[in-house]
Chains A and B, each alone.
Chain A
């Protein structure tokens, strides 16, 4: 229920943002002028702009926070991207473990995950190379998990069982939007909001998986999450700002 309320709040914020940002139509010029004026051809981006200028690598602060404050989950994630003009080849890798227990069970998992994909930056001419990106990801998690149960059946009495899924793999897709803002020279911070879709599991044969590293509870096929990164840009080439007509 908490998740649903949070989801609706997020949808509201999102909707408000859309209306506020792009709901206003640009002021229209005089119609007669529109008819007469012919738009000049769009200037082409020089090929040299597509040569990567640097690598941004960062760590996920949400994962670090969860690992430090929480008792159930440890998650450490690094993220990196490399620029091709306004496009970024992006990837992340994480390791995670999770423990959960109730009156009649103890569950544990341990594994790793990675995501790979591309982002497109919609901030064209920012001199600090702050980025607002939209992207897609393909994600894979490999992990092992175990479940120990200790139950009392009213007819058959007390019993305990142990199950292990040693080599489980999961995959899903993500639609992402992210913001990176420069704090200091080459040091950026920002979030990536992820909508995780179409989760599939393989080789969870001895019991149903409960949690997937990098994804969360496996009872959901689709869910959302976010990361907050601190990122350092290792530049090997000066990145130029493309100004049309210059």
Chain B
């Protein structure tokens, strides 16, 4: 009997270790912005970083202009990030530069998760795709919006 009791207690004790998961804190890995790298192909056909001077970047869904000269010096860009529309399942961006305008319409899904009363709602954007785009070329590298340590972007924009 002692032996059975001992095994039961050891079994429960070991299971208890697995059952003691730590509460989450407010640090979610999910983000609500798309990261872009602007690149061009050099003479050898390799991707190289390109800096573009944007006049402004706008979204018709947004209540403010996302970037506007001369409000910021950040418009000389090779990599940047833009927030997605959290209310709908599409977000449009108009990029004004070199006296021309290019457009991207993203489609995306959003899944809400209650983090805690203190931390509020955590949003997970998944399935990022383009409905239309007018740049030379565009590659979706990551279709899920997460904080990444390797700093790979969600989107590679090719501008020649």
Contacts and interface: CB of A to CB of B under 8 A. Distances in A.
Given A14-B12, A153-B83, A196 B19 contact: yes
Contacts of B64: 155
Interface of B: 1-2, 4-6, 8-13, 15-24, 32, 59, 61-64, 66, 83, 85-87, 111-114, 116-118, 120-121, 124
Contact of B22 (A4, A22, A155): A4
A27 interface: no
A95 B18 CA distance: 27
Nearest to A24: B2
Contacts of A50: none
Contacts of B5: 21-22, 122
Given A22-B5, A151-B86, A177-B8, A222 B19 contact: yes
Contact of B111 (A10, A14, A100, A208): A208
Contacts of B120: 102-105
Given A100-B117, A155-B83, A122 B16 contact: no
B13 A15 contact: yes
B18 A22 contact: no
B62 A3 contact: no
A240 interface: no
A224 B32 CA distance: 34
A149 B9 contact: no
A195 B121 contact: no
Interface string A194-226: 011100000000011010000000011111100
A102 B19 contact: no
A175 B12 contact: yes
Contact of A159 (B11, B24, B87, B113): B87
Contact of A11 (B20, B85, B113): B20
Contacts of A107: 114
26 contacts: A1-B23, A3-B22, A7-B20, A11-B13, A102-B121, A104-B121, A107-B114, A122-B1, A122-B4, A134-B8, A151-B121, A153-B83, A153-B86, A153-B87, A156-B85, A159-B87, A163-B112, A175-B11, A177-B8, A177-B12, A195-B15, A208-B114, A210-B114, A219-B24, A224-B16, A224-B20
Contact of B63 (A15, A101, A102, A155): A155
Nearest to B118: A102
